[in-house]
A and B are shown apart, each in its own frame.
Chain A
Amino acid sequence: MAELRFSNLSKQFEGSARPALAAVDASIASGEFIALLGPSGCGKTTLLRLTAGFEKPSAGRISLGGEVMADETHFVPAEAREIGIVFQSYALWPHKTVAQNVSFPLEVRRVSRAERDRRVAEALALTGLRDFAARMPAQLSGGQRQRVALARCLVFEPRAMLLDEPLANLDLALRSSMQEVFRAFHRRIGATMLYVTHDQGEALALADRIAVMESGRIRQFAAPEVLYREPADCFVAGFVGDGAVIPVRATGESMPDGTIIEVLGQRHAVRARCAAPSHVSIRPENVVIRDSGPLRGRVVGQTYLGGRFRLQVELGGETLVAYATRRARLGEALGLSIEDAWAFHDPESETLMARALAHA
């Protein structure tokens, strides 16, 4: 287990116009479970492959436990990094049995026969594969293959473990049970884990901290509840969790833990960390349906989620999302109030706006 640190890490692929990774800085504590979350093409897999040692960075440094893995002058190849990886395709070697797949890392390290057998048995027991040791990968189900890949990774006690969308090829029911396996597994061995996913549910459920990535940059790197309650910018607010992101006008009046903003034609007290927010993130639970509410909206869409309804409510040209316990009529008018929303300052939207104004 070791601390993993990225400094100014960049990757530019040949023939590609924009960098896959642009000056990423992050540090991951020993034993942390980190999720890299983002839409496809955001650079999360590139970051993972750089960490594994399959690609060389164009600039910047990767260090593990204080040792440089890659920078301008040094490059430790994948086989010398002691970092384990679980692939999306599992990458089990089809010509080896389950036990042979798991024992290969130890064979490469010239571990003695007896020690090898003991550790393979241990890894198989830990992943619940004891009865499958003699099977070929082709004879296993998707979930079992996934666990073989996991056993093969943990058997050599890597300094960090990378997981590349490990659940993407599994069906929904198996996914949640495998999530449980990963969580229990991490609790037990306490390895530093880097988990790539595009599924925010997975990331929110599993990770200690989540790095939300977009266009080769980390937009926000924080605990799941912080990402949800206090998104740093419009992208994170829109990508993680449900709700609306609406531009606001700051009044400059401050409050304890927040400020007053003008949005939807009303003044609202919101949580904020800056004096002049540009946007507000209104989660469904921030919208309270109440006849006495100061806002009036019209129901334009409704989905039953089981136990509650998700309503889309239009007002003043914006669409809010609210939860309701009873079915609403399309077109029905509702009274609303906004409570405990989060306002933030997004510098990029300002430059966008400035550019739009310049063109106008």
Chain B
Amino acid sequence: MSVTLAHKGSSRSTDRLLLLVLLPVALISLGPVVRLLLEGVGVGSGLTTAHLTSVLTQDSTRTALLHSLVTAAGGTVISVLVGASFAFLVALTDVRAKAALVFCLMVPMMIPPQITALAWMQVTGPSSVLLKMLGLAPPLGSPQPLHSPAGIILLLGLQHASLVFLTLRAGLRMLPAELVEAARMSGAGPWRVWSQIVLPLSLPALIAGAAMAFVTALGNFGIPAMLGIPARYSTLPTLIYQRLTGLGPSVLSEVAVLSLLIAAVAILGVLASRLMLRRGGYGLVGFSGTPLALSLGRARAPVEVALWLFLAAILVLPLAALLATSLIPAYGVPLRLDTVTAKAWIEALFTQPVTRRAYANSLFLALAAALTLMAFSLPLAWLMERRPTVLSRALDALIDLPYALPGVVLSIACILAFMRVPFTELSLYGTIWIILLAYLARFFVVMLRPIQSSLAQLDPAMEEAAASVGAHLITRLRAIVLPLAAPSAAAGAILVFLTAVNELTVSALLWSSGTETLGVVIFNLEDSGETVMASALAMSIVCLIVALMAAVQAGARHFPKGIIPWQS
């Protein structure tokens, strides 16, 4: 009798756990996206394609689509050039200080795009404090060169170069060293080895990286907003933003169509890359354990200098300009020993209520998102790994969607879904909770994947051993699985925190007075001409990010391989 109870109890507890975890995750992460799709076909207003046709035939839509395609494609070209050069040099040759190179190349990816744009605007243009200090500033009244499609393309390219770098380097790591050695034994020189062996074999990774850079650039809001709006150059994300902030929720159906349009372009981009990959795949056989280190010979020192100079130009230069701007009393004043002041810093960090509120909001949102996701991801990842069902496999395949789709798409989806919470009179629009829900949906996969990979590496015998000595499911999860998955959960939580604390694209459409995030406030400060304070705030955020990245780096040896993005 007791035997029967024991059995039923244990299997029921697993089933209950499954529903308890799967259901909210599926609702929050996929619900809004489904709601958006329904809106596109006019479910709310009686199945009509009226919105669809009217929006798609507008001139502004076509212009914005064209601009989005041009900037995303141009940015991808730059990302591929920069990211691939670094990947080939770091993964294949004997350049020194690879870890430091990689860390520095990753910083631009972790710095939010609106801060990148703000920083670069301090490098160029007539009001640049840095150029004034050096006496190189163009005359007053001359245009800011970055307020142009070319500026957007350049910054998008630099921002997403690390995506290409990471994907390609991961691909190069899989390349068996013997293939290169065999080519060299056949008498091929370094150039021939690269062009005829390495390049063709790593092409799939390069294409995958380029597709990722393209989709991410397409969804980027911070850079085209900071650089494009002043130049009246709209992309799809900024068009949605301008429509929604200008006209309010009445245009929701219209912007829903626009966001579906971006989603469609993004999905087409991914499908195109998949198609190319299918043709170009090779089965690689051999050991890939030994990293390649082709000797650059006498070219090594010049190559190293070039790499570091480039990093200085894309990292140190804009950040120095941003710092310089943050230290002047008012915009337009040159930076000298007698004008340097921390006034803007004090104002931004301690005096201004709106910036303090933004800090509090962003820290709360990031922390809440990280902790909530951690609490859900551990049992979910365990269930997916150990008790796979049709349902959990489907969720596994779809959970990438809210993260892979451009942020504006998810924002619109969340507004639609939570404007009036289904089956209630409750509206979350305008509260901080809608931003939190959107973050939970968007960053779920950032948290889930590291935990999944560490559980996949965990020998099931560990848990079976615990079961055989009498530990029940909950005890096994707490005493065995949790401690062993904790490092990757921590890494995932820090990644979520880092990404969420800087987030602009989603919150730009979801914030209202009182629920501003850091990203929104920087954007608004710059928009209203408070460039100095925006710079001080931005600089403080950069410090926070680099400190967090360094903390993760310091704990790197505790994390399973492949969890920290800049250490793949």
Inter-chain contact count A-B, CB under 8 Å? 83
Which A-chain residue is minimally distant from B2 (CB atoms)?
A: A80
Chain A residues with Cβ below 8 Å from B480 are 93
Does B472 sit at the interface, judged by CB under 8 A?
A: yes
The segment out of B316-324, B461-469, B535-543 that lies at the interface is B461-469
A68-B3, A75-B7, A108-B475 given; A54·B464 CB < 8 A: yes
- Contact A76 B6, CB 8 Å, known A87-B464, A91-B465, A93-B480: yes
CB distance from A100 to the nearest CB of B (A): 10
**Closest 9 pairs (CB-CB, A-B):** A105-B469, A91-B461, A78-B467, A91-B465, A75-B7, A85-B468, A87-B461, A95-B483, A108-B471
CA distance A74 to B459 in the complex (A): 28
A266 at the interface (CB under 8 A from B): no
- Report which A residues bind B (CB closer than 8 A): 52-54, 67-68, 73-85, 87, 89, 91-95, 104-105, 108-109, 149, 152-153, 156, 162
A79 to B472, CA, bound (A): 6
Q: How many residues of B contact A (CB 8 A)?
A: 22
Residues on the B chain within 8 Å of A75, using CB: 7
Closest to A70 in B: B7
* A85 lies within 8 A of B464 (CB): yes
* B3 & A89 in contact (Cβ 8 Å cutoff): no
Given the contacts A94-B484, A95-B484, A74 and B468 also touching, CB distance less than 8 Å: no
Interface centre among B10, B464, B467, B468 (most CB of A within 10 A): B468
Chain B min CB distance to A57 (Å): 13
In the bound complex, CA of A79 to CA of B6 (Å): 10
Residue from A67, A73, A78, A153 within 8 A of B464 (CB atoms):
A78
B385 to chain A, nearest CB (A): 16
Could you tell me the distance in whole angstroms from the C-beta of A52 to the nearest C-beta in chain B?
Answer: 6
24 A/B residue pairs, CB under 8 Å, sorted by A: A52-B464, A52-B468, A74-B3, A76-B6, A76-B7, A77-B6, A78-B464, A79-B467, A79-B471, A82-B470, A84-B469, A87-B465, A89-B459, A91-B462, A91-B464, A93-B465, A93-B480, A93-B484, A105-B470, A108-B469, A108-B471, A149-B465, A153-B469, A162-B468
For the complex, is B58 an interface residue (Cβ under 8 Å from A)? Answer: no
Interface of B is mostly: helix
A156 touching B469 in the complex, CB below 8 Å, given contacts A87-B461, A91-B459, A108-B475 = yes
Q: Which residues of B contact A80 (CB under 8 A)?
A: 3, 6, 470
Any chain A CB within 8 A of the CB of B4? yes
Query: A120–B483 Cα gap in the complex (Å)?
Result: 22
Chain B residues whose CB sits within 8 angstroms of the CB of A53 once the complex forms: 467-468
Nearest Cβ on chain A to B91's Cβ, whole angstroms = 30
Q: Do A152 and B484 form a contact, CB below 8 Å, given A77-B10, A80-B6?
A: no
B479 contacts partner chain A, Cβ-Cβ < 8 Å: yes
**Please, how many angstroms separate the alpha-carbon atoms of A94 and B457 in the complex?**
13
| Chain A residues near B475 (CB-CB < 8 A) | 108
Nearest chain B residue, comparing its CB with the CB of A155: B469
Cβ contacts under 8 Å, B464 to chain A: 52, 54, 78, 85, 87, 91
A83's contact among B459, B461, B468, B483, by CB below 8 Å, is which? B468
Chain B residue, CB-CB nearest to A67: B3
Known: A89-B461, A95-B484. A104 touches B471 (CB 8 A): yes
User: Closest approach, in angstroms, between the C-beta of A101 and any C-beta of chain B?
Assistant: 9
- Which of B7, B469, B479, B480 lies at the interface centre, i.e. has the most chain A CB atoms within 10 A of its CB? B469
Cβ-defined contact, B7 with A109, below 8 A = no
Docked-complex contact B4 and A74, CB < 8 angstroms: yes
A149 nearest CB across to chain B (Å) = 8
Q: Which residues of chain B come closer than 8 Å to A156, judged between CB atoms?
A: 469-470
CA distance A78 to B7 in the complex (A): 10
Q: Which residues of B contact A109 (CB under 8 A)?
A: 470
Which residues of the other chain, B, contact A92 by a CB distance below 8 angstroms? Answer: 465
Give Cα distance in the complex from A74 to B6, angstroms.
Answer: 10
Chain B, residue nearest A88 (CB) = B461
* Given contacts A77-B6, A93-B480, A94-B484, A104 and B469 within 8 Å (CB-CB): yes
Residues on the A chain within 8 Å of B479, using CB: 104
Question: Whole-angstrom distance between the alpha carbons of A92 and B459 in the complex?
Answer: 10
- Closest residue of chain B to A78, judged by CB? B467
Least CB distance from A321 to B in Å reads 39
Q: What is the 8 Å Cβ interface bit string for chain B, positions 387-408, against chain A (1 contact, 0 not)?
A: 0000000000000000000000
CB–CB A108/B468 < 8 A: no
- Which chain A residues border B468 with CB–CB below 8 Å? 52-53, 78-79, 81, 83-85, 153, 162
Select from chain B the residue with minimum beta-carbon distance to A107. Answer: B479
